[in-house]
């Protein structure tokens, strides 16, 4: 096996798990040992579950572009929608009537589910809202699914909102951000189990630099540049 293949495995699978996954991994490993003494077939199932948890809860390092005006993807996945003229989620909108552009990223069960800060600044509002568990790829998931929203105010006074949305089989949202906390672009802030979605709301005058169907990498892919003057990008399948 070449060094390049080994390096690739280290970067994708042989990485430390997120703390939220430790109970599942330990539980699966313990069940594997116990069941191996009783029913070997069930032990194989427990082992497969343990390996899956090691893969699902992987928390790889990321290289975040260093420019304060950049908005980066808060999660890995496919850009499933870019919607203009929308309001912030009701629980964090307050009395504001401003319109935003929403970039939605769908995370499949095979994607890294650790979430990252989309832009540096201060957390001015954070709110959890219970809800339903529709397929996270559906548009109505933004309004009706269980979610956790946070508004980050940049040094320039702009407010960017990031929302973690539970999916069809997701039943747990972890959001470690706290009100008045200073945050850094690309830093970890939570995780969603299992399939899910993350939305980023930004002022309408900021042009998206990603396209629907494009794959995003959390903490690395640039969604937009607050100070940029490039028009919204268009994509083509090639």
Q: Is 116 helix (H, G, I), strand (E, B) or coil?
A: strand
| DSSP category for residue 21 | G
Token pair for 24: 């599942």
The answer to whether the bond into 194 is cis (omega within 30° of 0) is yes
Q: Name beta bridge partners: 173.
A: 192
Catalytic-labelled residue, pool 80, 104, 148, 196? 196
> What tokens does 229 get?
């003057």
How far out from the chain centre does Cα 232 lie? 22
Report the candidate in 218, 185, 193 with the shortest Cα–Cα distance to residue 78.
Answer: 218
150 beta partners: 126, 162
Is 87 in the active site? no
Q: Report the catalytic residues.
A: 196
């Amino acid at each position: 096996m070449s060094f390049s293949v080994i390096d690739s495995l280290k970067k994708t699978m042989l990485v430390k798990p997120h703390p939220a996954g430790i109970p599942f991994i330990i539980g699966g490993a313990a069940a594997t040992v116990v069941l191996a003494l009783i029913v070997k077939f069930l032990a194989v199932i427990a082992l497969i579950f343990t390996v899956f948890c090691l893969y699902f809860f992987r928390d790889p390092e990321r290289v975040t572009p260093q420019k304060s005006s950049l908005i980066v993807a808060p999660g890995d996945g496919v850009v499933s929608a870019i919607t203009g003229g929308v309001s912030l989620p009701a629980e964090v909108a307050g009395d504001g009537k401003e319109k935003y552009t929403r970039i939605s990223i769908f995370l499949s069960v095979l994607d890294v589910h650790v979430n990252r800060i989309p832009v540096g600044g201060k957390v001015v509002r954070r709110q959890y809202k219970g809800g339903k568990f529709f397929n996270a790829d559906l548009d109505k998931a933004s309004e009706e699914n269980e979610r956790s929203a946070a508004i980050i105010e940049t040094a320039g006074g702009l407010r960017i909102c990031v929302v973690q949305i539970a999916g069809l089989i997701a039943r747990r949202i972890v959001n470690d951000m706290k009100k008045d906390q200073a945050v850094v672009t690309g830093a970890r802030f939570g995780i969603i189990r299992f399939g899910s979605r993350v939305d980023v709301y930004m002022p309408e005058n900021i042009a998206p630099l990603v396209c629907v169907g494009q794959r995003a990498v959390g903490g690395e892919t640039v969604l937009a540049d607050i100070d940029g003057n490039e028009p919204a990008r268009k994509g083509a399948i090639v």
